Amino acid sequence: MYRYDEFDAAFVAGRTAQFADQVKRRLSGELSEDQFRPLRLMNGLYLQLHAYMLRIAVPYGTLSSRQMRKLAHIARTYDRGYGHFTTRQNIQFNWPKLKDIPVILDELASVEMHAIQTSGNCIRNVTTDQFAGAAVDEIIDPRPVAEIIRQWSSLHPEFSYLPRKFKIAMTGSPNDRAAIRFHDIGLQAAVNAAGEIGWEVWVGGGLGRTPMVAKLINSFVPNEHLLAYLESIMRVYNRYGRRDNKYKARIKILVHEEGLESIKGQVEAEFAEVRGGVLTLPQEELDRITAYFAPPDFADRSGDKVDVAYESIIDPAYGRWLDNNLHPHRVPGYASVTISLKPVGGAPGDATDTQIDVVADLAEKYSFDELRVTHEQNLVLPHVAVADLRAVFDVLVANGLAEGNNNLITDMICCPGLDFCALANARSIPIAQEISHKFAAPERQKEIGDLKIKISGCINACGHHHVGHIGILGVEKKGGELYQITLGGDATEGASVGKIIGPGFEAEQVPGAIEKLVDFYIANRTSADEPFLDAYRRLGEAPFKEALYGTV
Partner 1 sequence: MAQSSLAPAAAPAAHEKLKALGILALNGMFDEMDAVSVLRYAITEVLPGDMAIVSSFGADSAVLLHMVAQVDPSLPVYFLETGKHFPETLDYVETLKKQLGLLNVHAIHPNPDDVKRFDPNGDLWETDPDSCCHIRKTEPLEPITEQYGGWVTGRKRYQTSERGVLPHFELTSDDRIKVNPLAYFSDADVIEYRQAHSLPEHPLYAKGYKSIGCAPCTSAVADGEDPRAGRWRGLNKKECGIHYDFNGAIASPMSAATRHTLWKDGAFIADPFKEWAEGANPSEARYVHVPMAEFLANREAYLANPHPLGLKVSPGDAIEEAADDLARFASIAISFPAFTDGRGYSTARLLVERLNYAGEIRAVGDVLQDQIPHMWRCGFNALVVTHEPTREALKEDRLPEMALFYQPVGLSEVPMGTRPFLRRVS
Nearer to partner 1, 34 or 529 (CB): 34
101 binds partner 1 (CB under 8 A): no
54 binds partner 1 (CB under 8 A): no
Nearer to partner 1, 158 or 394 (CB): 158
Nearer to partner 1, 28 or 526 (CB): 28
Nearer to partner 1, 138 or 147 (CB): 147
11 binds partner 1 (CB under 8 A): yes
Q: How far apart are CA 256 and CA 278, in angstroms?
A: 31
39 binds partner 1 (CB under 8 A): yes
51 binds partner 1 (CB under 8 A): yes
Looking at the DSSP bridge assignments, the partners of residue 339 are 379
277 binds partner 1 (CB under 8 A): yes
Helix (H) or strand (E) holding 189: strand 185-191
Q: What is the CA radius of gyration of the chain?
A: 23
Whole-number minimum distance, CB 253 to partner 1, in Å?
A: 16
Whole-number minimum distance, CB 257 to partner 1, in Å?
A: 15
Say if CB 475 and CB 420 are below 8 A apart. Answer: no
Q: How far apart are CA 97 and CA 276, in angstroms?
A: 47
Say if CB 109 and CB 12 are below 8 A apart. Answer: yes
**Which string of x and - marks every residue 227-246 that binds partner 1 (by CB under 8 A)?**
x-------x--xx---x---
Q: Which residue of 366, 393, 420, 483 would you call a contact of partner 1, by CB under 8 A?
A: 420
Span from 170-178, 336-344, 414-422, 506-514 in contact with partner 1 (CB under 8 A): 414-422
Say if CB 81 and CB 379 are below 8 A apart. Answer: no
Q: How far apart are CA 336 and CA 48, in angstroms?
A: 35
465 binds partner 1 (CB under 8 A): no
Say if CB 100 and CB 26 are below 8 A apart. Answer: no
265 binds partner 1 (CB under 8 A): no
Q: How far apart are CA 509 and CA 503, in angstroms?
A: 12
**Which string of x and - marks every residue 141-170 that binds partner 1 (by CB under 8 A)?**
-------x--xxxxxxxxxxxx--------
508 binds partner 1 (CB under 8 A): no
Say if CB 179 and CB 375 are below 8 A apart. Answer: yes
Q: For residues 414-426, b (16+ Cβ closer than 10 Å) or e, as one string?
A: bbbbbebbeebbb
* First CA to last CA distance, the chain: 58
287 binds partner 1 (CB under 8 A): no
- Name the pairing type of β-strands 82-85 and 499-500: unpaired
Pick left, alpha or beta for residue 46 (phi over 0 → left; psi -120 to 50 → alpha; otherwise beta). Answer: beta
Whole-number minimum distance, CB 39 to partner 1, in Å?
A: 6
Whole-number minimum distance, CB 289 to partner 1, in Å?
A: 9
Contacts of 540 (CB under 8 A, 6+ apart): none
Q: Which residue of 15, 84, 124, 320 would you call a contact of partner 1, by CB under 8 A?
A: 15
- List the beta strands (DSSP E) in 264-355: 326-328, 334-339, 350-352
Q: Which residue of 121, 355, 425, 486 would you call a contact of partner 1, by CB under 8 A?
A: 121
200 DSSP 8-state letter: E
Q: How far apart are CA 92 and CA 114, in angstroms?
A: 12
**Which string of x and - marks every residue 192-231 that binds partner 1 (by CB under 8 A)?**
-----------------------------------x----
21 binds partner 1 (CB under 8 A): yes
Q: Which residue of 210, 280, 354, 496 would you call a contact of partner 1, by CB under 8 A?
A: 280
3-state secondary structure of 181: helix
Q: Which residues lie near partner 1 (CB under 8 A)?
A: 7, 10-11, 14-15, 18, 21-22, 25, 27-33, 35, 38-39, 49-51, 97-98, 121, 148, 151-162, 227, 235, 238-239, 243, 273, 277-282, 284-285, 418-420, 422-423, 479
